[in-house]
Homo-oligomer: A and B are copies of this chain.
Amino acid sequence: MDIKQYMQSVGTRARSASRLIAAASTRQKNDALLATVDALQASRTQLLSANEIDLDRGRKNNLESALLDRLELTGARFDSMIEGLHQVAALADPVGAISDMNYMPSGIQVGRMRVPLGVVGIIYESRPNVTVEAASLGLKSGNATILRGGSEAIESNQAIARCLAVGLEQAGLPATAVQVIETTDRAAVGEMITMPEYVDVIVPRGGKGLIERISRDAKVTVIKHLDGICHVYIDQGANHDKAFDIALNSKTHRYGVCNAMETLLIAASEAEVLLPRLVTAYRDSGVELRGCDQCRAIDSTITAATEEDWHTEYLAPILSVRIVSGIDAAIEHINTYSSQHTDTIVTEDYPRSMRFLREVDSSSVMVNASTRFADGFEYGLGAEIGISTDKIHARGPVGLEGLTSQKFVVLGDGHIRQ
């Protein structure tokens, strides 16, 4: 197969389908989502056997067990795919929404209309349920999607793709509005990220290595985050119970997630009293602590943190701790070491809460709340295609709106420029 030629024809079909899907009514798009539900349920047996083929091949190829686990389409995961489609169908349609329509001195009315981006490319690893999730968000936001799942899930993804095609066609929409790449050749990814004439944005989901490679080589905008080095800063005069709860929840609620806290900053005025209480709680949860010299003066069981620690996303029961003089040093530390994902201040002080909100340059900035809230569902976006720590286009959790932009609309009645 000539990969370049194949991807160009995928791109051409996507570009052409994108016009039809952009003009589709909310009703048609929801019909397609619900018809996909029916198609998935009718094909449940075929889907599970396709998945079995992938699993068999994976076992033969000695795929590591974590990967095999993610690859498996369990009953619960099948049900959550169905549930996800219902949820996306229930979300408000962002396309066509007009805002800020105002009369200008010339007499014209000027406003903005929310419109799809066009073609969204999604590159992900082993989990086949991402196929349905990404396709449904692309569809609801009026975009054509090109999906490139992990090669180990190719049979499962193709089977799911057939159900999506049935759903689209039953709603009178082009099946090519969702295309799953049919080759496992890695060159397909290289093509996909370098054809801006066919693809408007790339959303990579997977390990940092994958995302770094894609960002480096892409000629198309990439919506992404690389790291989640999140901070909690406990301010001078903070309420110790709130501080204790937030510091504990941000670290120990789940370890392997991007919105878990990796570094705790404590104002010197609170450390004497609060740090020992936290050390005990972390120790009970099995969290290893690495701290600055001042921390170690308070509790000598804390090991010494190196410069490297402030830069590290552990994704594990390890936490770096630093005592800072106050909010200036905290903001300075965060703006230096944070990955601009999510950072929280725990404070009772109004001016300092406002300063933190304003001056911390991260995609989510919080006051008196756990970093774990940084999530599309918790933010009311309904679903999330990814998280962006970049500054252009979208920051933070990216839902349907992040897959759209706004064009200007002008209404006149024969108006001309004088």
A278 proximal to B (CB < 8 A):
no
User: Which residues of the partner chain B approach A246 to less than 8 Å between Cβ atoms?
Assistant: 414-416
The answer to whether A110 and B410 have CB atoms under 8 Å apart is no
User: Which residues of the partner chain B approach A312 to less than 8 Å between Cβ atoms?
Assistant: none
Give the contact-size bracket for chain A.
35 or more
A285 proximal to B (CB < 8 A):
no
Which of B245, B250, B365, B416 makes the CB contact (< 8 A) with A414? Answer: B245
A242 proximal to B (CB < 8 A):
yes
Main secondary structure, interface of A, reads mixed
Distance between Cα atoms of A344 and B246 in the complex (Å): 54
User: Which residues of the partner chain B approach A368 to less than 8 Å between Cβ atoms?
Assistant: 411-415
User: Which residues of the partner chain B approach A407 to less than 8 Å between Cβ atoms?
Assistant: 361-365, 395-396
- Beyond A96-B358, A358-B96, A405-B395, whether A414 also contacts B242 by CB under 8 A is yes
Which of B253, B335, B392, B412 makes the CB contact (< 8 A) with A417? Answer: B253
Q: Which residues of A (392-418) have their CB < 8 Å from a CB of B? A: 392-397, 405-417
A63 proximal to B (CB < 8 A):
no
The answer to whether B363 and A410 have CB atoms under 8 Å apart is no
The answer to whether B366 and A413 have CB atoms under 8 Å apart is no
Shortest beta-carbon distance, A16 to chain B, in Å? 10
Q: Which residues of A (347-380) have their CB < 8 Å from a CB of B? A: 357-359, 361-370, 372-374, 378-380
Distance between Cα atoms of A248 and B414 in the complex (Å): 12
A76 proximal to B (CB < 8 A):
no
Shortest beta-carbon distance, A369 to chain B, in Å? 3
Distance between Cα atoms of A374 and B379 in the complex (Å): 35
A239 proximal to B (CB < 8 A):
yes
Shortest beta-carbon distance, A244 to chain B, in Å? 9
The answer to whether B106 and A378 have CB atoms under 8 Å apart is yes
The answer to whether A380 and B102 have CB atoms under 8 Å apart is yes
| 15 A-B residue pairs with CB within 8 Å | A23-B359, A106-B373, A108-B373, A117-B392, A249-B416, A253-B417, A344-B410, A365-B410, A367-B411, A368-B412, A373-B417, A374-B408, A394-B405, A395-B405, A395-B406
- List the 4 shortest-distance A-B pairs measured between CB atoms, nearest first: A369-B412, A242-B414, A249-B416, A372-B417
Q: Which A residues are within 8 Å of any B CB, using their own CB?
A: 19, 22-23, 96, 102, 104, 106, 108, 110, 113, 115, 117-118, 200-201, 221, 239, 241-242, 245-246, 248-250, 253, 335, 344, 346, 357-359, 361-370, 372-374, 378-380, 391-397, 405-417
